[in-house]
Every structure is written in structure tokens, then in C-alpha cells.
């Protein structure tokens, strides 16, 4: 399979009070063409920051990529200029966010906002652009598309706004769509609509999708492969079926066990003890060690290496050191 995006040893940090606080500590993963990759993690795992790093969207923050590579097609996004990046954003890599209301301009008509990227990236004339916009709106299942382009965001419901965001994102046929918790703010029945729409569009356009979520249910429904993050690191990477069937990393196991599943007759849920660590105060060694059920002395000493396992899986845990000796660099 052909790789569309390859991230290697990505490090991103923020500066506060003249002190650098590293949030991403060497993130590695790739996305193949036409694939839906799930990026799973809890708050503070660095999953959203990973997506912002790919887009280099640090506006207004002190965020900065301090190491590693982001290979997109044949370009390394970490060292291209802002003006080149602007040509990629929206055109080749598009993004949708959790809260559509904050990413839509409240005083601009839907049509104007939708036309902006179309004019900018596709160079279409006013009339053609408008026709294109209407066709995209129809594609994302918006009724009365011709009227909606003259309305303002607050006149629409949350689900409709998210459809508009998706329309904006796919308007220039991007190769990669990054969706950061696209349905978290929506109700379940609306979430089902949006997930269904995203799946359809992805298959029709053969887009690659990076789906960032904390919801394992959404991952299981949507993704082909999954990357699990914890405390700014990738702890496990696997095919979606294998991940749910035989999770390797104790964190992944705990995560899957702690979600209540429909129809499961369990008195008590498994749970991961303790709390998500504070990025400015991470433990030594494996960052998950204080919460881990299988912890060994070495876990407190040294960070586990990224181990390549069978079927293209990988897992960063000392438990599998014996199983497979060669360390991936």
C-alpha cells in the first residue's frame, strides 16, 4: 500500500514562562492512501496536537515543532514555508473540528465561507464556484442547498453545521481529511448521520482520513487501522480488528475494558486506576507505569522501545521485549 503521510519522531512543544514544555515525544505513524486511521487517546494524550502539528496550525499559541519529520507525498511539512503550507491546507489536507460553531464565522453567510476555499484553491469563477458549492452541499446531504448558502451559521442546527464543515473540508477534493472529534458535540442519532456521511464520502472519493477520537465505538465503526496515544507517545498501532480482539498494550486493554458495552452483562467495569498524568510532571520510565497492572521494575527505569510485532503491529511496552527482540528505530 502506498503511504500518503508518514510521521517520524515528531516532537512538539509549548513555551510558557520561558520554559519549554514538550507535549509530543517522538510520535511515529503513517497513513496509507484511501485508509481511515483512528487516533485514540484521552485528554492530554497529544492526539489533537498531533493533528495541529500536521497542519502547522499553532496560531496564537507558543506551539512549535521541535523535531522529527512529517512526510506528505514527497514533501517534508516540517520545513516548508508558511506560504507553501497555505497551499496545502484546505487543498490537499483539510480539517474538521469538534465544535463547528467555533470554526464557522458567525457574521458571514454560509455561501461566502464555502466559496472562499473554492475560489482560493480551485481558481473557479464566481458562477462556477457557486454551482460547485451547491453541488458539494447536496453531496453532504443538505436540503434546500440553494437557500442555505444565503443563511448564517446560527440559523442551522449542530448537525447541519457539521455537515457544512464537512462540505467546506471536501470542497477542494483533499487527499487527507483530518477529523478532530467530529461528532463529540453531537447527539447520538445525529452522530450516526454524520459518521454515515463521512464513511460514504471517504469511499466515494477514496480519501484518506485521520479520525481523532476518544470514543472507541466510533473507532470500531469507522477505522481500518488504529494508533493509540498516551502522554504524547504512540503506545500501540494495529489493524482495527486485531486491536479490539487482542489488544497488546496494558493501556489499550484497560481502555477497551473500561467502556461499558451494550448487551454486556458485567456487574463491574474494568478500570484503569489513577489519573491521566500532567504533561509537566511525567513519571520516569514508561509513562503508563504508575497505572499499569503488569508493571515490572524496568518500567520505572527506562522508557520502553517501539517494538514491531507480527502483522505490521507495533507496541511500546516492555512486556513484549522477549517476544520480539529487534528494536525498531
| Alpha helical stretches, state H, the chain | 47-55, 82-88, 100-103, 110-117, 126-139, 145-148, 158-170, 188-205, 216-222, 240-245, 250-258, 297-301
Residue choice 216, 227, 238, 299 for contact with other proteins (CB under 8 A): 216
What residues numbered 263-322 form the site for other proteins, per CB under 8 A? 263, 266-276, 278, 281, 290-291
Return the biggest CA–CA distance within the chain.
68
* Non-local CB neighbours of 111 within 8 Å, separated by 6+ positions: 130, 133, 148, 149, 150
Segment lying near other proteins (by CB under 8 A), choices 23-31, 84-92, 118-126, 254-262: 254-262
Distance CA 299, CA 142 (A): 52
Contact segment (CB under 8 A) with other proteins among 110-118, 168-176, 183-191, 298-306 equals 183-191
Judged by CB under 8 A, the residue of 188, 297, 311, 322 near other proteins is 188
| Under rule CB under 8 A, residue 256 binds other proteins | yes
For the window 125-164, what string marks contact with other proteins as x by the rule CB under 8 A?
A: --------------------------------x-xx----
Would strands 233-239 and 225-230 be described as parallel, antiparallel, or unpaired?
Answer: antiparallel
Q: Quick check: 152 and 109 in contact, CB under 8 A?
A: yes
Taking the complex as a whole, how short is the minimal distance between the CB of residue 272 and other proteins, in angstroms? 4
Taking CB under 8 A as the rule, does residue 182 contact other proteins? no
- Pull the grid cell for residue 16: 510558557
The residues of the shown chain that bind other proteins, judged by CB under 8 A, are 42-43, 157, 159-160, 187-193, 195-196, 214-223, 240-241, 244, 254-263, 266-276, 278, 281, 290-291
Amino acid at each position: 500500500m502506498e503511504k500518503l503521510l508518514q510521521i517520524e519522531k515528531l516532537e512538539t512543544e509549548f513555551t510558557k514562562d520561558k520554559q519549554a514544555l514538550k507535549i509530543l515525544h517522538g510520535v511515529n505513524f503513517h497513513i496509507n492512501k484511501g485508509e481511515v486511521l483512528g487516533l485514540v487517546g484521552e485528554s492530554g494524550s497529544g492526539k489533537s496536537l498531533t493533528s495541529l502539528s500536521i497542519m502547522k496550525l499553532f496560531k496564537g499559541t507558543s506551539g512549535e515543532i521541535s523535531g522529527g519529520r512529517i512526510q506528505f507525498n514527497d514533501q517534508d511539512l516540517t520545513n516548508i514555508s508558511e506560504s507553501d503550507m497555505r497551499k496545502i491546507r484546505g487543498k490537499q489536507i483539510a480539517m474538521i473540528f469538534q465544535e463547528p460553531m467555533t470554526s464557522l464565522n458567525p457574521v458571514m453567510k454560509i455561501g461566502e465561507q464555502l466559496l472562499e476555499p473554492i475560489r482560493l484553491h480551485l481558481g473557479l469563477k464566481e458562477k462556477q464556484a457557486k454551482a460547485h458549492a451547491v453541488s458539494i452541499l447536496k453531496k453532504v446531504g443538505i436540503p434546500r442547498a440553494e437557500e442555505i448558502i444565503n443563511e448564517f451559521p446560527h440559523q442551522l442546527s449542530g448537525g447541519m453545521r457539521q455537515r457544512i464543515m464537512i462540505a467546506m473540508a471536501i470542497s477542494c477534493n483533499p487527499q487527507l481529511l483530518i477529523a478532530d472529534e467530529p461528532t463529540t458535540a453531537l447527539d447520538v442519532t445525529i452522530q450516526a448521520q454524520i459518521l454515515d456521511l463521512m464513511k460514504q464520502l471517504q469511499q466515494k472519493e477514496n480519501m484518506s482520513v485521520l479520525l481523532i477520537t476518544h470514543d472507541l465505538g466510533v473507532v470500531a465503526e469507522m477505522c481500518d487501522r488504529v494508533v493509540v496515544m498516551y502522554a504524547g507517545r504512540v503506545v500501540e498501532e494495529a489493524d482495527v480488528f486485531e486491536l479490539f480482539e487482542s489488544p497488546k498494550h496494558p493501556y489499550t486493554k484497560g481502555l477497551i475494558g473500561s467502556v461499558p458495552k451494550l448487551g454486556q452483562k458485567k456487574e463491574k467495569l474494568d478500570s484503569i486506576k489513577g489519573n491521566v498524568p500532567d504533561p509537566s510532571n511525567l513519571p520516569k520510565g514508561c509513562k503508563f507505569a504508575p497505572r499499569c497492572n503488569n508493571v515490572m521494575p524496568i518500567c520505572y527505569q527506562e522508557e520502553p522501545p517501539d517494538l514491531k510485532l507480527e502483522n505490521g503491529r507495533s507496541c511500546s511496552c516492555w512486556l513484549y521485549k522477549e517476544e520480539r527482540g529487534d528494536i525498531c528505530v
